[in-house]
Amino acid sequence: MSELMRKFVPLLFFVTLVGCGTPTELKTVNWNGNRITWTVLDGGATTSYYWKIFFTKKGSNSQDLIFESYSSPYITDISTNGNKLLIHCAVDRDSTDIITIDLNKIEDFIDDPIEYERSLLEQTNESYIEPEFVKQDREFAIKHNLTN
C-alpha cells in the first residue's frame, strides 16, 4: 500500500463513521418566537455522543450552531428561563449542573459558537462564562489523561 493510501484509509474510515450517522433531534424550546434545538449524534460503541444546539431565528428556516460538545460536557437537557438558555449537564451519576447562555447576546454565539471536545474548550466568545464544574471536569480529564 502506498504512503498516500496509508494516510488516506484512516481518514476515509473516520469520515464514513461520522457521515453515516444521522443526528437525532432531542428537544426544541421556544424563546420569543425563536427556536432552540438540541440534537445528538450517537457514535455507538466506538465513539462518544456529539451534542449540538442550534438557534433558528423567528421566520427563518436556517439553523445556526451556538453550542456543541463532543463527549463532555455531557448534555442531558435544555430549557429556557426568561432570557437564559439552560444547558443541563450530567456531573456524576446522581447530579447535574447547568451551563447558562444569555440569549440577549445570542449574536455572539451565532458568530462564535461554543465548542467542547472531551472537556477541552476548543472555541469560545466574550459572552460565554464557563461554569466552575466544567473547569473541574477538564482538570480531572487532563490529570487522568482522558482528553485524547
Give 35's strand partners: 30, 56
Q: Is the pLDDT of residue 44 over 80?
A: no
pLDDT band at 146 (very low <50, low <70, confident <90, very high): confident
Q: Which amino acid is at 81?
A: N
Dump pLDDT digits (tens) for 101-140.
Answer: 999 999 999 999 999 998 999 999 999 999 999 999 999 9
As a whole number, the mean pLDDT across the chain is 87
CB-based contacts of 60: which residues, under 8 Å, 6+ apart? none
Residue position matching grid coordinates 444569555: 102
pLDDT at position 47, please?
A: 74
- Per DSSP, 127 falls in state T
Q: In what order do the strands lie in the sheet with 95-102?
A: 74-81, 84-92, 95-102
What's the pLDDT at 46?
A: 64
Distances (CA, A) of 143 to 109, 137, 139: 30, 10, 6
**Where exactly are the structural domains of the chain?**
19-142
Q: What is the pLDDT of residues 52-94, one digit of tens each?
A: 999 999 999 999 999 999 999 999 999 999 999 999 999 887 8
